A and B are shown apart, each in its own frame.
Chain A
Amino acid sequence: MNQEAIKELLYKMADDQLILGHRNSEWTGFGPLLEEDIAFSSMAQDKVGHSLALYTILNDLGEQDPDTIAFTRNADQFHNTVLTELPNAEYDFSLIRHFLYDTAEALRFEMLSHSSFEPLALVATKVRGELRYHTMHANTWVKQLGAATEESIGRLQQSLELALPYALGIFEPSPYESDLIKEAIFEGEKALEEKWKKKVEEVIAQTQLHLPKWETIAPHYGGRTGKHTEYLQPLLDEMSEVFKIDPTAEW
C-alpha cells in the first residue's frame, strides 16, 4: 500500500480533530447555556481522543509518538483545514462551523469504515458511531435556530456565508487522490465533497437559511499543505504551553 498517501490522509484528519477539539474546548466555562458548555466540552474530548487514535496509527507507521506529533510542530507543519483553526467568535459561528465540519467528518469516517487499510477501517468503524451524537447535536441546533427569530436566522446566515469558503477547503484536492482510490483506501475528497453538499442542502432546506449556489463560492485551500492563518500559531502555543515546560514529564 502507498504509505505516503496513507500518512497524508491520516495527518490531515488527525490535525483537524486536534485543532477543532482545542477550539471546542475553549467553550468550556463560556457556553451560552450550561448544556452547550457541556456539549462543546464533550465534543472536544471526543475529538482530541480521535486525534490520538489517528496519531497512534501514524506512530505504528513509523512517525513519532503522538505527544511529540501533537505538541512540537509549528503551524506550517500542520495539515488541518483552515476552517478548524479560525477563532470561535460568537456562538453562531462556532455552531455553523461545527455543523459544516462534522457533517463532512461523519461522512468521511463512514466511508473509511470500508477502507482497505485495516487499522484505519477499525478506528473509523468505532468513531462513526460516536459522531452520530455530534451531527445530531449540530443538526438539532441549526434547524432550531435557523427557523427561530429574525436575529438567530440573521446571525446564522451571516456565519454560514463566512464559513462556506473555508468549509469547501476541507476537500482540498490531495496529490494522492488517485492512489487512495485505486487501492480502495479512501474514495477521495471529491466523492466526499459531493456527499457532503447533499447532506448540507438537506439540513439547510429545513430552515429559513439560504444556501448560496455552490459554484459561486471560492474554496479556501492551503491548510492541507501548511498554509495557515495567523490564528493557528497562538493556538498551538497555548495548547503546548504545559507540555513544553517539561517534555519528558511522565503523566
Chain B
Amino acid sequence: MAETVTIEKIYQWLEEVKDPEIPVLSLLDLGVITNVSIGDKVKIEMTPTFVGCPAIDYMKNDIVDTLKKHGQEAEVEVTFRKPWSSDCISEKGKAALKKYGLAPPPDNKLFTDLEILENAECPRCSQTNTELKNPFGPTLCRAIYYCNNCKEAFEQFKPV
C-alpha cells in the first residue's frame, strides 16, 4: 500500500525531476510546475519555458515516471494559464545555474530593449565586461555571450 500522499510529499518528490538539458536544476526551481492537486490521482499542471520547447514531453514523462516510483498515478497537463517567465526561476535555481556555468537571467521586468541584454554577468568571473554575441543559442532558452575578462564565450539563460 502506498503511504498517504500529501501535496507537500508530491512537491518533495518533484524535486527529484530535473531539467533534461540542465541536470542541476529541478523542474520546481525552474518554475514550470504551476499547480499540484490530489483527486482520484495526482494532477500536476506545468507550463513550458518556451512554447516550442522540445523537452516538454520528456519532462512530462519524467514526472509521471518519478511519481510512479513513489507509488502514485499522475496526470500532467500542459497549460498556459500561468505563463512561464524567467522570473519564475527560484533563487536556489539561479544559484545552481551560475554554478553550472550558465548566467542566470536578469530580472525580466527590466528587459525592454537590447541594452539590458548587454553586459550580462559572466558566471565564471562575475564581471560584467561582456558582449552579447547572439540572442539565440544552442537551445531556445539560451543566448551566447563573450566575456572580455575571461576571453571566453559563455551562455545565459535568457530573460523572457
**Given A126-B83, A129-B160, do A49 and B134 touch, yes or no (CB 8 Å)?**
no
Do B134 and A35 have beta carbons less than 8 Å apart? yes
Is the CB of B158 closer than 8 A to any CB of chain A? yes
Q: In the complex, what's the smallest C-beta–C-beta distance from A18 to chain B, in angstroms?
A: 11
Chain A residues within an 8 Å CB radius of B140: 42, 45-46, 49, 130
Interface residues of B in 51-94 (CB under 8 A from A): 51-54, 79-81, 83-85
- Could you say which residues of chain A place their CB within 8 Å of the CB of B84? 126
B138, CB-defined interface residue at 8 Å: yes
Interchain CB contact (< 8 A) of A125 among B52, B83, B111: B83
A133 within 8 A of B: yes
Asked whether A133 and B136 contact (CB < 8 A) given A122-B80, A140-B114, the answer is yes
**How many residue pairs bridge A and B at CB < 8 Å?**
71
CB < 8 Å: which of A52, A53, A122, A132 contacts B81?
A122
| Shortest Cβ distance from A35 into B: residue | B134
Interface size class of B (residues with CB under 8 A): 20 to 34
User: In the complex, what distance in Å separates the CA atom of A140 from the CA atom of B134?
Assistant: 11
From residue 207 to 240 of chain A, which have CB atoms closer than 8 A to chain B?
Answer: none
Which A residues touch B85, using CB under 8 A? 129
Chain A residues with Cβ below 8 Å from B138 are 38
A10 within 8 A of B: no
Instruction: Give 10 nearest A-B pairs by CB, closest first.
Output: A49-B52, A42-B136, A122-B80, A126-B83, A39-B136, A35-B134, A49-B51, A46-B52, A129-B160, A45-B52
Q: Which residues of A pack against B, CB within 8 Å?
A: 35, 38-39, 41-43, 45-50, 52-53, 122-123, 125-127, 129-130, 132-133, 136-137, 140
